[in-house]
Structure 1
Amino acid sequence: MGYVAVTAGEEIIERAADLFEKQRLDGDAETLSVVQLEGQLERLTAQAASEGGLYAPRLAALAVKQAQGDTVEASFLLRAYRSTLERWDETVTVDHGELFATRRVSPAYKDVPGGQLLGPTKDYTQRLLDFDLEAEDGREGEPDDPTAEWDVADEDPETVTNVMAILREEGLVEEPAAVGETEPSDTTRTPVTHPAGRDEVLQELARGETGALTALGYSALRGYGQVHPTLAEVRVGRLPVKIEHPYTGEVVTVTDVEVSESEAVVPVYAKRDDPQFAFGYGLTFGRNERKAIAMTILDASIQLDGRDEPAENPEFVLDVIDGMDSFGFIEHLKLPHYVTFQSILDRIRSIRERTLEGDGGANSGSDPAPTEVETDD
């Protein structure tokens, strides 16, 4: 149902859309370019790409610009565009150990093989407004690079050992039940049915809305769940994309994608003689560590199969985390609901009329009944 019932109908709708576009262009400031958005607001475009399920940084920046910074609207545009693309091939499964990490921290280990790689982050600094950034507006020339004088060694980077691999070598990780040799389903083509497989859960979590994942993950940490994990590690880097060459059949790397990855462990004491760790996993497009961490919490919670708390119920989680579904359902309330409202209104009026008739009209007046006041004799 649209606003076609309004006088002038489609003309008014078109004018409203023009006004929305004018709002973006109005003012004396220069128009933001897609290149600027992609380069300087990388976290924003990465969130849109992640929730849209399409790794295309330039298109994500374009979608953010068109949506005026609304990440859910931007991800909707990306999903709509993705649905028009022809599927050429499927990639070969890659080992996440092949990820070239630009950032890797392990809260679980102080001295971890390969070392802690802080990378670009402000996690360990004060969060204060930097008013010096105002001076950048309209500044000519290239910005100063604070790392320009740093010496960078030409030697190959040291191999970064995965923390979970260390725990697995000691037999400390309880592996999930085998799922057989079946290929993972594609939830963009086949709707999720419950009970959902873990491959379906991870796909839906990876495309879920960042705020929704964060809120549900936080609910588990606040006691509305049994999972309070220790992060084995959080990594940001570039993961190779490989396909089988159509002529030679050899596996070749065609490109790479930036991803954020998180793994967490949860102690399980059910086996008294041999306690182990269960684990949760999260991986998402772009630099979005918060979402990846929340994803690990929810993955670990859903594996408990407890269903006693919201974060442990896969049907509840998967139904509410999708930005397209949740935001669309919330915002559809702005659309006309004349028929349903009039029906409810008629029903309420009818009930009130019958009630008043049953009371003999005693309470039909608009003036309130006088208040009785007790007095001492």
Structure 2
Amino acid sequence: MGYVAVKAGEEVIRRAEDLFEKRRVDGEDEPVSVEQVESQFSRLVGQVMSEGGLYAPKLAARAVKQAQGDAAEAAFLLRAYRSTLERYDDSLPSSPDAMFATRRVSPAYKDVPGGQILGATKDYTQRLLDFEFDESDPTDEWDLGDDEPESLRNVMEVLRDEGLVSDPDPVDDTDVTDTTREPVMFPAPRDAILQELARGETGAVTALAYSALRGYGQVHPTLGEVRVGSLPVEIEHPYTGESAEVTSVEVTESESVVPVYAKRDDPQFSFGYGLVFGRNERKAIGMTILDASIQLDGDEPAEDAEFVLDTVDGIDSFGFIEHLKLPHYVTFQSILDRIRAIRERKGLDPVDGGERTDGDGGGDTPSDREAPQAVSDDD
């Protein structure tokens, strides 16, 4: 990439890092604890876990604090830490039907089986800056009762029972692609696409999905439902061989339906699916749009799997964009020399860009100037 060493680079880098840490805790207020970040910035923590590909709320909160709230940097830290962990075993496939939903809305059905559960949301209120924001702890107490939570029937099952959903080819649970260990090869299977979308950067997923809605695509879906809840994680017991629940993770799930009129003899719905760590409804919905778009395999950006997956990977895009801040002295000097040589061959004036004339026109010609010196590692 043409990087060169900078004189006294190690000392300067160390001092810059010290200054970063000083600015992180600067001010007269008490430093924010990791526990406060985890509990009060749960949406941000969930986004970092999703993009980092690791469900670890405390570690994600620590990454957010370390990165001064920069979600991309925090996801980078979490994914880098994830790469050092040893994998002991795989969990059993989890059915979303087992989710204990704390929020579930269906824009497609008014009277959805199980009812609408608004949960904690401000979707239906005006988004206004609150200058009287109350920093005190809420005092309202909620009586949830002692009843066991009921599992909710998936809205898509209603359509499937009527034979109205055209499901893609099923994935064999014993042969699932792991994109964290195997490179994605195109054309990519749908399970690999969903994994990459689930770890995609939230803004990129949202933007590409929006492009499809704005006419750069063929997908404008109806959401079957959006659910937020706790999904149990089970493993196979090493001695009994029975399934055993070991923990649960907060996830957001969304499914959208797209009418398929091409099958005139049997018109059905196609569908897109999204599931991400934490509460991140915007990303889960965007994921459903991209999933449905990629299945079309069309010519628009959101329908090209390779373009989409290469673009939404936040760690790749974040790293490649920010690497431009690193030294490019040698490569820039080469480009500069090439442009000067072309201008000299064309007889262009080095000052105003006009044609160079002979005589006492003032100023040095390109041949009179001192040739640029190559940059060494000591410069």
The share of aligned pairs that are identical, in percent, is 71
Q: Give the conservation status (yes or no) of the 8 Å contact 1:3–1:13.
A: no
Q: Does 1:90 align with 2:90?
A: yes
Amino acid aligned to 1:290: R
Among 322, 337, 342, the alignment partner of 1:351 is 342
Among 208, 214, 219, the alignment partner of 2:200 is 208
Q: Give the conservation status (yes or no) of the 8 Å contact 2:98–2:151.
A: no
RMSD: 2.1
Cα distance in 1 between the residues matched to 2:8 and 2:248: 51
Cα distance in 1 between the residues matched to 2:173 and 2:247: 27
Cα distance in 2 between the residues matched to 1:34 and 1:157: 31
Among 317, 332, 339, the alignment partner of 1:341 is 332
Cα distance in 2 between the residues matched to 1:196 and 1:176: 14
Deviations 1:320-341 (A, max 9, x none): 1011110111111101111110
Aligned to 1:122: 122
Amino acid aligned to 2:124: Y
**Consecutive unaligned residues in structure 1, runs of 5 or more:** 368-377
Q: Give the conservation status (yes or no) of the 8 Å contact 1:4–1:10.
A: no
State the shift of 1:248 in Å: 1.0
Aligned to 1:362: 357
Q: Give the conservation status (yes or no) of the 8 Å contact 1:3–1:9.
A: no
TM-score w.r.t. length of structure 2: 0.90
Cα distance in 1 between the residues matched to 2:20 and 2:199: 27
State the shift of 1:96 in Å: 1.1
SS in 2 for 1:5: coil
State the structure with bigger RCO (CA 8 A, min sep 6), 1 or 2: 2
Aligned to 1:145: 139
Aligned to 2:188: 196
Cα distance in 2 between the residues matched to 1:242 and 1:181: 14
Cα distance in 2 between the residues matched to 1:259 and 1:169: 26
Q: Does 1:300 align with 2:292?
A: yes
Deviations 1:189-246 (A, max 9, x none): 1111111110100000000000000000000000000000000000000111010011
Among 223, 228, 232, the alignment partner of 2:215 is 223
State the shift of 1:156 in Å: 3.0
Q: 1:297 to 1:15 in 2, by over 3 A?
A: same
Q: Give the conservation status (yes or no) of the 8 Å contact 2:200–2:313.
A: yes
Cα distance in 2 between the residues matched to 1:194 and 1:113: 39
Q: Give the conservation status (yes or no) of the 8 Å contact 1:103–1:235.
A: yes
Aligned to 2:229: 237
State the shift of 1:182 in Å: 5.8
Aligned to 2:99: 99
Amino acid aligned to 1:130: D
Number of matched residues?
358
SS in 1 for 2:101: strand
TM-score w.r.t. length of structure 1: 0.91
State the shift of 1:18 in Å: 0.3
State the shift of 1:6 in Å: 2.8
**Consecutive unaligned residues in structure 2, runs of 5 or more:** 364-379
Aligned to 2:238: 246
State the shift of 1:158 in Å: 3.9
Cα distance in 2 between the residues matched to 1:310 and 1:353: 41
Cα distance in 1 between the residues matched to 2:23 and 2:355: 58
State the shift of 1:2 in Å: 10
Amino acid aligned to 1:197: P
Matches within 5 A, 1:5-16: 5-16=5-16
Q: Give the conservation status (yes or no) of the 8 Å contact 2:63–2:75.
A: yes
Aligned to 1:370: none
Q: 1:181 to 1:94 in 2, by over 3 A?
A: closer
State the shift of 1:179 in Å: 4.8
Aligned to 2:36: 36
Q: Give the conservation status (yes or no) of the 8 Å contact 1:66–1:74.
A: yes
Cα distance in 1 between the residues matched to 2:2 and 2:280: 35
Cα distance in 1 between the residues matched to 2:172 and 2:158: 25
Aligned to 1:265: 257
